[in-house]
Structure 1
Amino acid sequence: MTVEEAFGKKISDVSLTIKGTVTKILEDDTGDTPHQRFIVTIHSGHTALVAHNLERAYRVPVKVGDGVEVKGTYVWNKYGGILHNTHHDDRSACEKVASGRVVCGPKHEDGWINFVGKKKPDFSKNM
């Protein structure tokens, strides 16, 4: 599935990869979990916000005009969507779910950012 398809169908929580150009650097989200934020524009003109978790991964040294390829979890919004979980998920904690079962394992599929031609660089923090 492409980001345009997910956007058009208003689909969220799907793993996607986008490739495009960084067109805007935004201020970090400094809420409960800090995130580095930047806008990527793909070849079709579609834009998506990348929200890169700074507690789980190191800052990516992107600047406007850089080419990037980003894999993460897409969340729909009216502005084009958000791509988050752009880092390795090494959490293997267990949690009790609504049914009462205990589920163990990663919370999401691993994400990554390919920056300046370096395929899947390790920006993840070792926890």
Structure 2
Amino acid sequence: MKAFLVTAAIVGASALFYLNPELDLASVSSPSRDSHHIVEAYENHTSGKQVAGVGKVTRILSDDLKGSRHQRFILKLEGGHTLLISHNIDLAPRINSLKIGDEIEFYGVYEWNSKGGVVHWTHDDPKGRHINGWLKKNGKIYQ
């Protein structure tokens, strides 16, 4: 039984890192204010990278209502880089109290675009096939 549990743990950890080899477990619990990894992804036109960070809301956009509904807003990261957050509100709660100047922590998937990039997958995956993301405002997690 002990050998089975050890094998299961190794397989589980391997699967987690296979799904996302760039996963930094430390950044999940404590997103970095250093946005170099996001700026690097932007400069290299990288997409599909799991990222964590912190930014201030500079603009609140209208919801995207095509397909799954998404709450959208722009964050300015330390260093000045801007990023669109696209938060699926069909799968996760909306941040109703969101306003310009709010500090938001995030964990999700970065997709490159010419305007700075988009972070999505800021929610749980109901099918359990993707790493769960989240947004955090004033200590409250929106997942």
TM-score (norm 2): 0.71
Kindly, what percent of the aligned residue pairs are identical? 38
CA distance in 1, matches of 2:107, 2:51: 6
Unaligned 5+ residue runs, structure 1?
93-105
For CA contacts below 8 A with separation 6 or more, give which structure has more relative contact order: 1
Pair 1:115-2:137 in alignment:
yes
Number of corresponding residues: 107
Unaligned runs of 5+ in 2: 1-35
Query: Which residue identity lines up with residue 115 of structure 1 in the other structure?
Result: K
Which structure shows the higher strand fraction?
1
Q: Could you state the TM-score of these two structures normalised by the residue count of structure 1?
A: 0.80
RMSD: 1.3
Greater C-alpha radius of gyration: 2
Q: Residues of 2 paired with 1:41 and 1:110: CA distance?
A: 23
- Aligned position for 1:57: 92
Q: Deviations over 1:50-70 (max 9, x none)?
A: 000011111013211000111
Q: Give per-residue Cα distances to partners, 1:64-93, cap 9 Å, x unaligned.
A: 10001111000000000000000111314x
Provide the secondary structure at the position in 1 that maps to 2:62.
strand
